[in-house]
Structures are given as structure tokens and as C-alpha cells.
Structure 1
Amino acid sequence: MEHITSVHNPRIKAWKKLQRKRERDRSGLFLAEGRHLVEEALKSEVQVKVIIIEESVELPPEWQVSDVEVIEVPEKVLRELAETETPQGMTAVCERPDRHNLLLESGRFLLLDRIQDPGNLGSILRTAEAAGMTGVIFGEGCADPYNGKVVRATQGALFSMHVQQMDLEEAVDLCRENGVPIFGTSLSGSTFTAIAPQDSFALLLGNEGEGVDEALLEKADQNLYIPIYGRSDSLNVGVAAGILIYHLRGD
């Protein structure tokens, strides 16, 4: 097992750069911080390249790490790679899955328009995975799904989700061509309970402040809204996603 003691080590510096989207895009790598996320990554099809573990922490013997490089570091070095105030003893360097072949022919899809808050995005991905969604399409202007805060908010659900960046107008057009019903979210739409559960659908969710772009809403088969019975003027987009996803999928 290699031992790195300095925050100035070239490998530590290279991994720290993965906190930036540009470097994640360039390298195809991302960080999974904390024991739970490392374990979930190991259980998934995501390739774990390196596990960086604090000196005082031991890897669980049941983990399958024979093909993974393990590096031991002091706490100060692990903190250099951490984005949380209290690092949980380990971080993994993972390879971002090459997922660019999502066919919008049949299934249940989320189309995300400029969802910018990493916490919201992580919650949406976690809910989508729990509900068995087929895939999630990210339009231009969304937060990076491999941003550290997003990864943590998904609690590992990201590792088994098919996520793909794509022009949303193109995605909507493909859904229409393939007979997949498209539902937008808009206050000028119909109450969501008026729609029966669907075997296949695409749900458009929009920016926290501006909602879904009007040009996309015009292409939807129907636009839906969730009634507000209190004084709030809107629901958090992550909460709205959960309500609509589970209603539309029915069973």
C-alpha cells in the first residue's frame, strides 16, 4: 500500500483539481467522498480507480478491492481532498461512466432544464433512481451531476442511474417522434391528478426561479401543476419531482 504524507504530492494536487468541473470533464474522473459513497461505488458498475484512506481507518474486509489501488494518508492530506467540514476517513477517485446512448423510445425519463442547485439536483436523482426511472437528461445550464455536493446528495443513487447531457429541444423532439408522452410543469397547466399513470413518459422539470423554458413547454403534450393549499407560492423542485414521478409511474 502506497503512503502519501504531503499535500504537495503531485497525485494529491491532481485529485484536488477534480473539485472543478473543467478538470472532471477533461479527465473523466470524479471524487466520491465518505465511507458510504465509496461502498456504493464499489457495489456499482462505476470503476473505482483509487481509494485514499486515512491512516487510522481500516477498509472493511468484505469490500472487494483487489483491483483497486489503495493509498494511505494522514488526516491533513485527506482534508485537502474533502469538500465537507468533517471528512469520513476516505475518498475514492472514480471513472465517470461513458453513458451517451440513451434511447428515448420507451421508458420513463426526466428532462432537466437549468436545475442549478446541487442539493436539488442530488435529491431529484436520488428520487429518480428510487422510482426506477429509465434515465435523466441534463440540458444546458444544469449543475454538473458529478459535482461533489450532487454526488453526496444522491447517496450513491447516481452510480446506478443513466444520466446524459443533451440538448433538451432535441430530446423532446425524439420523444415526440417515438410516441413518448411529454409532460411539462407549469402553473398554467392542468392539475397533475387529472393525468392517469403512464407506462412511458418524459417529465420536464425547470429552473428553481424561472421554471421550464416556454419553448419547451409549447412542445409538451400537456403541462401539469401541483396545487398549493397554503400561503407558499411554489414547491421545491426536488419535492415536486417526487410527487410527479410517483404519480405518473402509478404502480
Structure 2
Amino acid sequence: MQILSVQNPKVKQWSLLLTKKGRDSQGKFIIEGTHLVQEALQSGVRLETLLYSIDKGLPAELEQLLPDRSICVGVSEEVLAKCSDTQTPQGVAAIAEKYGLASAGLLEHPQPLVVVLDGVQDPGNVGTIVRSADAAGATGIVLGRGTADLYNPKTVRATMGSLFHLPIVEADLDEVLPMAAYKGVRLVGTSLQAESTCYELDLRLPTWLIVGNEGSGVSPQVERHVTHRTIIPMHGKAESLNVAMATTVLLFEAARQRVF
């Protein structure tokens, strides 16, 4: 099958997935680029449609992973551009169903290391945190209200495929945090007034790391659920760290304590 015109009804539907409204109404999202599509296929994500440039052809590394070639649609470069938010489309894109997960699974893990995002608004930061959590061996991520959409194309790209590797759920933090605390989980937040550094706090215990908005930090409503506060010591002149960088430091300190 081939589609060459950007006026095709299917193309118009696919292009709407570049907006949150379109993703929510259709229950689908776009995966762009050979690497990300490959990661999705290897992780068992069900693809509805695989678009590839007629001029460039279907990459061999994807062809061998496809259980069914019937989902493949050859398209023009104009169609790919219509379905991409990048200046230079990579020649491959896929349409996948959004997959919602229940937070209950995160609560059942015997030794959890979960990252909780409270109003982290930048898609790049959210994607980087997902990638760092995957690299550090975290057991899951919880996206609270006001956090950037996981399925935003910028977020998806920033994860570099890590969103397909670990459980990520959207939840009301006022509901899920007390449940975690009841299970004996430490709810850890950062604070300039904290008495212990992240290197002194025992992160081997069941832990959920709570991080907040780029400008205002964790909201007062979520802050009241924090059970342990810590600080990342800084020896230079920088006043603070970017939220994604700070989260990465905490995650890898937890990984160091747990693995080494």
C-alpha cells in the first residue's frame, strides 16, 4: 500500500497525533525514527501502522522484526513531514496504541525504586528522567498532574526507547502516595533544609523519589506526603541542578548503594 498525498484522510488522522488532543481522542501516538521503532518492536509494542519513505525503502533491521508486513505503508516525504514535528523526518514512523498501566503493579514490587514526577512540564526533562530511570534499574515511574505528556513526540524521542522498557503510569499523587507509604515505602524529596545528603540516606530500602516542577519544585499538596528529605551536596558555585540532572544523580546513587 502507498499513500502519496497529504490530503489523504489517513494522513490527516495521523497528523493529529502530534497534538495531545488528537492523541487522547484516538488513543494512539507516533513513534519516529528507525531506532525508536526498532525498540518498540523488540519490546513487544503493538504497532498499528508502519510508515516508511518510498524513496528510502523499509530499513532491513525493521523488516526482520515485523511479524506482519501488512501494516507497512509506503509514503512520500511530504506525508512523513506532515506526520513529524522534526525539521528533518527520519524516513520511518509508526502509529501505536497508547497503553495505560495500573499503579497497583508498582506497589507490589518487593524492593521498589520508583520516580514520581509532580508537574515536570518540559517534555525533554520527562524523557531524560525516563531514560535515566531505565539506565539505573528503577522499577517504575509515576506521572502526576501537570507533568508533560509521555506520548508527546519530544518526550518519546528524549526517552530513546526507554519508555518501552519499564512501567510508567499516570496517577493522582494524593491517592497513590499514601498507598505507597502504607506499604512501607520511603517517599523521598529534596530540600535545602535536609539534614542528610543523598549519600547518607539509605536508598537500598523501598524508595519512591519525588521530583517537582522546573521552577517551583514539588507542590505543597504533594510535599506533605514526603516522609524523608535529602539534599544533593554541591561544591561549586551553581545554585541548583536541572530537575532531570538532579533525578539522575539520585537514581544512580540509589543504584550504587543497591548494586555495589
Q: TM-score range by the shorter chain?
A: over 0.9
> CA separation in 2, counterparts of 1:10 and 1:21?
19
What runs of 5+ residues in structure 2 fail to find an aligned partner? none
Deviation at 1:101, TM superposition (A): 4.2
What's the secondary structure of 2:121's corresponding residue? Answer: coil
The answer to whether structure 1 residue 210 and structure 2 residue 209 are counterparts is no
Which residue of the partner structure matches residue 101 of structure 2?
Answer: 99
Q: State the TM-score, normalizing by the size of structure 2.
A: 0.91
The correspondence for 1:225, drawn from 216, 231, 235, is 231
Secondary structure at 1:8 match in 2? coil
| Paired residues of 1:105 and 1:179 also in contact (CA < 8 A) | no
**Which of 81, 84, 89 is residue 83 of structure 2 equivalent to?**
81
Amino acid at match of 2:143: F
Q: Is the 8 A contact 2:18 2:84 kept in 1?
A: no
Kindly provide the CA deviation profile for residues 18-50 of structure 1, in whole angstroms up to 9, marking residues without a partner as x. 011122112211000111111111111211110
Partner secondary structure for residue 112 of structure 1: strand
Cα distance in 2 for partners of 1:121, 1:225 equals: 21
Aligned residues: 250
> Which of 176-185 and 7-16 deviates more?
176-185
1:56 corresponds to which residue? 55
Contact 1:49 1:68 in 2 (8 A): no
Distance 2:145 2:173 in 1: 8
2:191 alignment partner, SS class:
strand
The equivalent of 2:11 in structure 1 is 12
Tell me, in whole angstroms, the C-alpha distance in 2 between the residues paired with 1:203 and 1:68.
43
Matches within 5 A, 1:97-246: 97-103=99-105, 104-106=107-109, 107-189=112-194, 190-246=196-252
- The amino acid across from 1:12 in the alignment is V
Q: Alignment RMSD, CA only?
A: 1.4
For residues 98 and 142 of structure 1, the distance between their equivalents in structure 2, rounded to whole angstroms, comes to 16
Structure 1: runs of 5 or more not aligned: none
